[in-house]
Structure 1
Amino acid sequence: MTSPRERLAAQQAELLKALLAGGDAPAGFDADRLRIEANVLRNKQSRLVAYLRPDLAEALGDRFAALFREYATSHPKTDAIRARAYADAFGTWLVERGEIPKPRRRFATWLRRN
């Protein structure tokens, strides 16, 4: 038998999956309202990633929002990853998919490392 704490944790996980990973609405929640809230959260994440990595937003142009939505749905952000690392992971994902070219090392970066 599961404890009340375990049941609550499972319900919270279902809600987060619905909000961040495109999961179904848990029992007792309005699916349309959750979809609206999920869009709000994803748009907020998208703006933050564009702020942290303007090079990605510039390189992708109009494709940025759709590609970020795809990435964020399949790779939901957790509290274990910082925002900048999440933005960098999105950039890596884009390179691996061939959406953007692999970035060249900047001369200044090379100087700092050598």
Structure 2
Amino acid sequence: MSSDLPDLATRQAELIRALVAGGPPPSGFAPDDLTATATALLRKRAGLVAKRYPLLAQQCGPDFPDKFTAWARGRPSTSVADDATAFAAAHGLAPRTGRRWFRR
């Protein structure tokens, strides 16, 4: 039974890569289902950034979730703060003078 563990760990890693890092779908998984799940996870990330940094989301406009999702696809998250900083830098956004993106 222990010989199954490396195979299971490998398959789990492949699944995680497909869901959060733009990896190819592992065998046995429907690509459309993985795409839908990966998109839902990206939207969740966008929501977390918007909740923690509402001024960043506001500065980006009403299509923030779509912009963030497109930017984040294939970029694994390390933290909400890192996501916000890298997204803002990639889009040339900066906090307004004297203001921060997060609320107190």
Task: Give TM class, smaller chain.
Answer: 0.7 to 0.9
Report the equivalent of 2:25.
25
Matched AA of 1:25: P
Q: Percent identity?
A: 34
TM-score (norm 2): 0.75
Answer 1 or 2: higher relative contact order, Cα 8 Å, separation at least 6. Answer: 2
Residue identity in the other structure for 2:89: E
TM-score w.r.t. length of structure 1: 0.69
Which structure 2 residue ranges, 5 or more long, are not aligned? 100-104
Bigger Rg, structure 1 or 2 = 1
Does structure 1 residue 6 correspond to structure 2 residue 31?
Answer: no
Between the two proteins, the alignment pairs up a number of residues equal to: 97
Candidates 83, 88, 91, aligned match of 2:81: 88
Alpha-carbon distance in structure 2 between the residues aligned to 1:44 and 1:91: 13
**Bigger helix share:** 1
- Distance in structure 1 (CA, Å) of the matches to 2:55 and 2:63: 13
Deviation at 1:63, TM superposition (A): 4.6
Q: CA RMSD in A?
A: 2.2
